[in-house]
């Protein structure tokens, strides 16, 4: 008896920038893969698979957030339900009004955690591409963000054993202010420091 099986080929992901810059208090929500391409020759959909983005290096849990913008036909619905008096919450992800997946409760993108969307049979490669293009990084500390590089990994699991991994990075920097005081005749550069422009500034 001859037993044969087919090995799933991972999805092909392209168009991911090697690096992007992020300035605290200025950039806001930075799309991590706004021009991404995604195809899969042997999977019509990614039922049972997932799309996951994780900060693999340089993570600052109190600052780093990964989530989804409602663009590219993607919408989110907060579904709350009660079990024995306890409130549970599920964030459902839709594309053009069709449910394509849910955000993992354990990997919800907050406080440095990965963002994972568990996919269903409506998550075709084209739909999953739109979802990937809608994921953003945000540093929620708008005044004292820790500068440095956040390394990101992007995993696409096609539901049949194929996993594609891509990488990118976000370079976080402090906001730079240039202040000139006519009375003192000096200029000072402040990195992420607060100041009152109505007051005469004094160099130290």
| pLDDT tens digits along 194-204 | 555 544 444 44
> Which stretches of the chain are DSSP H helices?
125-133
Across all residues in the chain, what is the average pLDDT? Answer: 88
| pLDDT tens digits along 113-141 | 999 999 999 999 999 999 999 999 999 99
Please indicate, yes or no, if residue 3 is contained in any of the structural domains: no
| Cβ contact 30:22 at 8 Å | yes
Q: Looking at the structure, tell me whether residues 181 and 115 fall in a common domain.
A: no
Q: Looking at the structure, tell me whether residues 148 and 83 fall in a common domain.
A: yes
Q: How many helices (H) and strands (E) does the chain have?
A: 1, 15
Q: Looking at the structure, tell me whether residues 118 and 184 fall in a common domain.
A: no
Q: Looking at the structure, tell me whether residues 157 and 181 fall in a common domain.
A: no
Dihedral of CA atoms 11, 15, 21, 23 in degrees, nearest 10, equals -70
pLDDT at 185 over 50: no
Please indicate, yes or no, if residue 24 is contained in any of the structural domains: yes
Q: Looking at the structure, tell me whether residues 121 and 203 fall in a common domain.
A: no
Confidence of residue 178 (pLDDT cuts 50, 70, 90): low
- Number of domains comprising the chain: 2
Domain range for 87: 12-173
Q: How far apart are CA 170 and CA 23, in angstroms?
A: 10
Q: How far apart are CA 82 and CA 111, in angstroms?
A: 25
Q: Looking at the structure, tell me whether residues 86 and 185 fall in a common domain.
A: no
Residues 146-163 have a mean pLDDT of 97
pLDDT at 60 over 90: yes
Please indicate, yes or no, if residue 1 is contained in any of the structural domains: no
Please indicate, yes or no, if residue 5 is contained in any of the structural domains: no
Please indicate, yes or no, if residue 74 is contained in any of the structural domains: yes
């Amino acid at each position: 008896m001859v037993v044969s099986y087919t090995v799933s080929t991972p999805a092909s992901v392209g168009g991911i920038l090697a690096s992007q810059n992020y300035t605290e208090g200025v950039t806001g929500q930075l799309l991590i893969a706004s021009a991404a391409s995604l195809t899969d020759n042997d999977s019509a959909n990614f039922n049972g698979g997932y799309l996951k983005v994780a900060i693999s290096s340089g993570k600052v849990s109190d600052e780093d957030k990964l989530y989804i913008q409602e663009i590219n036909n993607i919408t989110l619905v907060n579904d709350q339900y009660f079990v024995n008096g306890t409130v549970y919450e599920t964030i459902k992800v839709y594309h053009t009004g069709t449910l394509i997946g849910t955000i993992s409760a354990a990997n919800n993108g907050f406080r440095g955690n990965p963002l994972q969307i568990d996919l269903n049979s409506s998550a075709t490669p084209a739909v999953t591409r739109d979802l990937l293009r809608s994921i953003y990084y945000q540093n929620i500390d708008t005044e004292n963000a820790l500068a440095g590089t956040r390394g990101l990994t992007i995993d696409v699991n096609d539901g049949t054993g194929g996993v594609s991994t891509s990488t990118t990075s976000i370079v976080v920097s402090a906001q730079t202010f240039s202040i000139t005081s006519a009375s003192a005749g000096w200029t000072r550069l402040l990195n992420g420091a607060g100041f009152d422009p109505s007051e005469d500034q004094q160099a130290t």
